[in-house]
Amino acid sequence: MTSTRSRVVLLHGFAQTANCWSTTAVQEALWRRIAGPTTEISAPTLPGHGSNPGVLDPLATLWTVANHLVSELGAGTYLGYSFGGRLALHAALEHPEAVKRLILVSATPGIADTADRAARQHEDAALAERIEQIGVSAFITEWLALAMFEGLSDSARFLEERQRNTAAGLAWALKRLGTGSQDNLWARLAELSMPVLVLTGTQDEKFAEIGDQMCSAIGSNASRVSVDGAGHSAHLEQPEQFARAVSEWLATT
């Protein structure tokens, strides 16, 4: 008998874990709106993250990790935030038959300029080295002090949960799966044939501009939503508004 349940896959951001999707306001807003008898939600902890990140493949890429995710999780709607959004984009390009709908939250298709991409790769490697030098706790303090996270409430920072990560795991994720190591996928966005929702916060000017450009590059199957009063972590800063936008889009695609 064929299952009638649909699946929504949630892919978290860098230095988070799956539990950053499933507590407090995010759970109440998102789960209440999209979970139900016909919807299955999968929220894996991504490679390099969590207290036991497993074997850290020195040859891994965003492509190989995306392939593994699709193999493990199967077909459905893939919703990814930032780092998770980049993985979701790779999954959609590599496995369009499995990614039925794609939701990208504060994500990028890569750095177009070769020199800028090389510079970012160098920055990612330097940050990875710093994580290993100072440890996870000190790094998380520095990471959450960045301007892009200033809109997060204390509970939405998931400080304790983030500290379950390991220095080796986060350093590996930056070096192997960071933005600097990502291919420039701008020219491939038009290949996306499934419905795509591009979502950013109005206060995240950098990614709002990227989001606008992505929608233009994808074409008529792309929808654009801006979350008022939110920065980079729109789903954590304005969970009710975010959940409403996602659920309404899912209902019409």
pLDDT 10s digits, 58-88: 999 999 999 999 999 999 999 999 999 999 9
Tokens (6 digits) for 61: 């890429």
Query: Which residues partner with 223 through β-bridges?
Result: 197
User: Does 54 map to a domain?
Assistant: yes
User: Does 88 map to a domain?
Assistant: yes
pLDDT 10s digits, 134-170: 999 999 999 999 999 999 999 899 999 999 999 999 9
Burial class (CB in 10 A: 0-12, 13-18, 19+), 7: middle
Report pLDDT for 52.
80
Which amino acid is present at 144? L
Residue 197 to residues 64, 79, 121, 246: CA-CA distances in angstroms? 24, 9, 28, 8
User: Does 76 map to a domain?
Assistant: yes
Q: Which of 107, 81, 82, 80 is nearest to 91 (CA)?
A: 80
Task: Quote the mean pLDDT of the chain.
Answer: 92
User: Does 1 map to a domain?
Assistant: no
pTM over 0.85? The answer is yes
Sign of the torsion angle spanned by Cα atoms 172, 174, 177, 182:
negative
Residue 69: partners with Cβ closer than 8 Å, 6 or more residues away: 9, 11, 44, 87, 91
Q: Which of 63, 93, 92 is nearest to 75 (CA)?
A: 92
User: Does 215 map to a domain?
Assistant: yes
Segment 179-200 shows an average pLDDT of: 98
Does the pLDDT of residue 1 top 60, yes or no? no
**CA distance linking residue 124 with residue 233, whole number of Å:** 20
User: Does 37 map to a domain?
Assistant: yes
Domain with 93, as residue range(s), is 6-252
Structural domains counted in the chain: 1
Segment 110-133 shows an average pLDDT of: 98
Residue 27: CATH number of its domain: 3.40.50.1820
Sign of the torsion angle spanned by Cα atoms 35, 107, 141, 54:
positive
**Is 18:40 a contact under the CB 8 Å cutoff?**
no
Sign of the torsion angle spanned by Cα atoms 11, 17, 23, 25:
negative
Rounded (5°) CA angle 93-82-49:
100
Q: What percent of the chain has pLDDT over 70?
A: 93
User: Does 226 map to a domain?
Assistant: yes
Which amino acid is present at 79? L
Q: How confident is the model at residue 37 (pLDDT cuts 50, 70, 90)?
A: low
**CA distance linking residue 58 with residue 74, whole number of Å:** 25
The helix, strand and coil proportions of the chain, stated in percent and rounded to the nearest 5, come to 50, 15, 35
